[in-house]
């Protein structure tokens, strides 16, 4: 099942970067992570005709390896807060690791708040990993890159977070982002202040911001499903006050309207692009 083929009624949300998929020359390869800290690994070549690629908010940290033969580089990218340009080059091959929403990799030498809506050179963020990084960058096979990443980084995949943050992440995702901090407090027994303070410390963002991202990701997951679910039905299911509110929010976070997005992915043969292994 592809990253976009998850029915809306399921509790889980599979984070996606749709503009990465649409920028792929042919196929966007995807392999789910075997460790719960990793959502999935991905690999694709950027098309020669690709225009500007956008990154959208997904609540995730990505490690992106540009495997160019001349100037290979690796970056650590925190989640964006709204749609913005991503530095991907035409004809370059990329290997990426997308962590699960809200997970902060333990091998990064930085606080969670530093990474949100920002990115860093991998060597600056992980000073002791140059050899591992170079091996990954110079390995041509997707499966071997995954194996190398797991070998070097599995012992330090997820930074230990507090029980309150783990509970909040789980509840927010189960509700597809449609839950207020007051409701989290009532369900968990923690105070609103404790939840907000600890959540920001562990993830680099507020529970409200994270919930907003998860609601957008739930919409993206659903928009690829077969059938003709209307925007008004989707807005209602995701808890938006009305369809106009949903349209404004989606456009701010994804850069186009849901209808335009559906048309774009249909024209690009979305399901044929994604290769799950």
H or E element, residue 63: strand 62-66
Whether the pLDDT of residue 10 is over 90: the answer is no
The CATH fold assigned to 163-268 is: Arc Repressor Mutant, subunit A (1.10.10)
Q: What is the pTM of this model?
A: 0.93
Q: How many CB atoms lie within 10 A of CB 123?
A: 16
pLDDT, tens only, 125-166: 998 999 999 999 999 999 999 999 999 999 999 999 999 999
Cβ proximity of 164 and 190 under 8 Å? yes
3-state secondary structure 32-55: ECCCCCEEEEEEEEECCCCCCEEE
d(CA 207, CA 172): 8
Whether the pLDDT of residue 51 is over 70: the answer is yes
Mean pLDDT of the residues in the chain:
92
Whether the pLDDT of residue 6 is over 90: the answer is no
Q: Given this model, what pLDDT does residue 12 score?
A: 78
Please report, for the chain, the start and end positions of each structural domain, with discontinuous segments joined by +. 18-156, 163-268
**CA torsion sign, 227 to 232 to 235 to 239?**
negative
Mean pLDDT of the 182-202 span:
97
Q: Given this model, what pLDDT does residue 228 score?
A: 65
């Amino acid at each position: 099942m592809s990253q976009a083929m998850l029915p809306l009624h399921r509790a889980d949300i599979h984070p996606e970067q749709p503009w990465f998929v649409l920028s792929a020359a042919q196929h966007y390869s995807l392999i789910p992570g075997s460790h719960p800290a990793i959502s999935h690994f991905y690999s694709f070549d950027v098309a020669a005709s690709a225009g500007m690629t956008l990154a959208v908010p997904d609540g995730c940290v990505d490690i992106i390896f540009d495997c160019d033969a001349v100037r290979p580089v690796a970056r650590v990218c925190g989640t964006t807060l709204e749609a913005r340009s991503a530095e991907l080059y035409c004809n370059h091959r990329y290997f990426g690791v997308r962590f699960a929403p809200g997970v902060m990799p333990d091998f990064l030498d930085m606080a969670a708040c530093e990474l949100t809506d920002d990115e860093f050179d991998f060597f600056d963020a992980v000073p002791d990993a140059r050899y591992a990084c170079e091996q990954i960058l110079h390995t041509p096979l997707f499966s071997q890159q995954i194996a190398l990443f797991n070998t070097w980084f599995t012992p330090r995949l997820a930074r230990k977070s507090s029980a309150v943050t783990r509970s909040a992440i789980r509840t927010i995702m189960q509700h597809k982002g449609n839950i207020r901090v007051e409701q989290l407090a009532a369900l968990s027994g923690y105070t609103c202040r404790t939840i907000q303070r600890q959540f920001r410390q562990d993830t680099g963002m507020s529970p409200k911001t994270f919930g907003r991202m998860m609601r957008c990701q739930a919409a993206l997951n659903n928009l690829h499903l077969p059938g003709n679910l209307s925007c008004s039905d989707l807005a209602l299911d995701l808890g938006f006050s009305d369809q106009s509110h949903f349209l404004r929010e989606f456009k701010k976070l994804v850069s186009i309207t849901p209808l335009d997005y559906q048309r774009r992915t249909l024209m690009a043969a979305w399901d044929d692009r994604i290769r799950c292994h």
